[in-house]
Structure 1
Amino acid sequence: MRFFAGYFPSLVTDQPLARASAAPAHRHFVLHKPWGYLSQFTSEFAKEVKKKRFLGELGNFPAGTMAIGRLDEDSEGLLLLTTDGRVSEQVRSRHIEKEYYAQVDGLLTPAALASLQAGVDISLHGTPYRTRPCQARLLAAAPDLPPRGRRIRDDRHGPTSWVAIVVTEGKFRQVRKMTAAVGFPTLRLVRVRVGEVRLEGLPAGASREVSSFFKN
């Protein structure tokens, strides 16, 4: 019998090779992130781990779960979670609409609203940036939202107004910077929609598992 490099008769068998076990199916979740939580499951900094609150406190999510995009610690609302990195890339790269309700300091003027719609100049890490045109509309009344973890202020400090803003970008603290650029700083920010997924009906801190974030 001839032997070829890499061929070992002792390993030859008539038994069929066992199939590799199938990888577990990926899982996806919709979460209502409350105020005061970071959009991550842990931190590399020991001090931050001791002092901050993380998403893992809000549910028993499987290993490898990641947040798609970010909500600031002082922002609230809809956060998508997945174990599939490809889905995360799809959501972030499709220019999917993200809708926010922002409570701003003062009564937003028609001129300020028009400026938001047309795009405003903000700063990103020290570099000037012009935001893309977006949808923006005044809300006739305060939206039905759960109380925030910390009170913002009382009416003695002046009136506030609510505006709905729909963007397709996801720049760092973009909506807050946009309202500040037109003279109306954001006091409270809640994301209520990402693409076709809506926040409504989900209490603060609660989550639900979904089969997909897309209808198609």
Structure 2
Amino acid sequence: MTFDYRYIIFHKPYGVLSQFTQETPKHSTLKDYIDVPDVYPVGRLDWDSEGLLLLTNDGRLQHRLAHPRFGHKRTYWVQVERIPDADAINKLQTGVEIQDYRTRPAEVKLLPEEPPVCDRTPPIRFRKNIPTAWLEITLTEGKNRQVRRMTAAVGYPTLRLLRVSIANLQLDGLQPGQWRELTPSELKLLHNFSVT
């Protein structure tokens, strides 16, 4: 008997839990968007975060991508309150203390303009006298609410957070709430990555 593996990329909207079971009627779940049996998210995105979520029933791949030892890259676009200065960027790049943990070095850059993101429902809070900026942050680890804790630790609270890539997978125009199967070339790259 052969087993058919499924590999799905999903653009998780704001306010959706990264699980199929509903613990509270307050939040939507993956079940409201994805009608594919027996697939599970690789890692997670908090309910108030958006963007790329990979789902599969391939346990071996799921383990390789979720295990911190393998350190695959995850890239986020992060809208923060105020404009981070060079010192804050440097601290994010070299590592900051969050709770009792020092983060690994990260790739961090201030984006010169707002990236191509969809409007969010509900929109972020807007304060006329406080500007916002967008950062691109690439991590090789995934502690609980890590990006939000990192930007807060250097004095620039996160207002909006979107994951735009996991390893070689890109969000690439997938609209919030949409999902698709991985292409053969994406799958080949992902498998090649997961065995290195």
Amino acid at match of 2:151: T
Question: How far has the Cα of 1:23 moved from its partner?
Answer: 3.5
- Give me the CA root mean square deviation: 1.3
Equivalent residue for 1:130? 102
Which structure 2 residues correspond to residues 128-167 of structure 1 after superposition, within 5 A? 128-167=100-139
1:193 to 165, 175, 191: 165
Matched residue SS, 2:138: strand
Match 2:27 to one of 47, 52, 55: 52
DSSP-derived class of the 2:128 partner: helix
Alignment of 1:24 with 2:24, yes or no, is: no
Aligned partner letter, 2:56: T
Q: Structure 1: how far apart are the matches of 2:175 and 2:113?
A: 20
The amino acid of 2:88's aligned partner reads: A
**Matched residues in 1 for 2:3 and 2:60: separation?**
15
For residue 64 of structure 1, report the CA deviation from its aligned partner.
1.3
1:57-103 per-residue CA deviation (whole Å, 9 max, x = no partner) reads 11221x21100001000000000000111111011222100000100
Counterpart code for 1:180: A
Say if 2:84 is the partner of 1:108: yes
CA distance in 2 between partners of 1:205 and 1:189 (Å): 16
Of 44, 55, 65, which aligns to 1:81? Answer: 55
Which structure has the larger Rg?
1
Residue aligning to 1:33: 12
2:44 equivalent to 1:70: yes
SS of the residue 1:29 aligns to: strand
Q: 1:191 Cα shift?
A: 0.3
Gaps of 5+ in 2: none
2:21 to 35, 38, 42: 42
User: Which of 110, 115, 120 is residue 96 of structure 2 equivalent to?
Assistant: 120
1:9-65, Cα deviation, whole Å (9 max, x unpaired):
xxxxxxxxxxxxx1331101000000010000014x4xx1x332001111221x211
What is the identity percentage for the equivalent residue pairs of Structure 1 and Structure 2? 43
SS state of the match for residue 165, structure 2? strand
Distance in 2 separating the partners of 1:215 and 1:85: 12
How far apart in 2 are the matches of 1:200 and 1:186? 23
Q: How far apart in 2 are the matches of 1:170 and 1:112?
A: 20
Q: TM-score, normalised by structure 1?
A: 0.83
Q: List, as ranges, runs of 4+ consecutive aligned residues in structure 1 with deviation greater than 6 Å.
A: none
| 1:202 and 2:181 correspond | no
Matching residue's letter, 1:23: T
The equivalent residue for 1:96 is 72
2:109 maps to a residue whose letter is R
SS in 2 for 1:51: coil
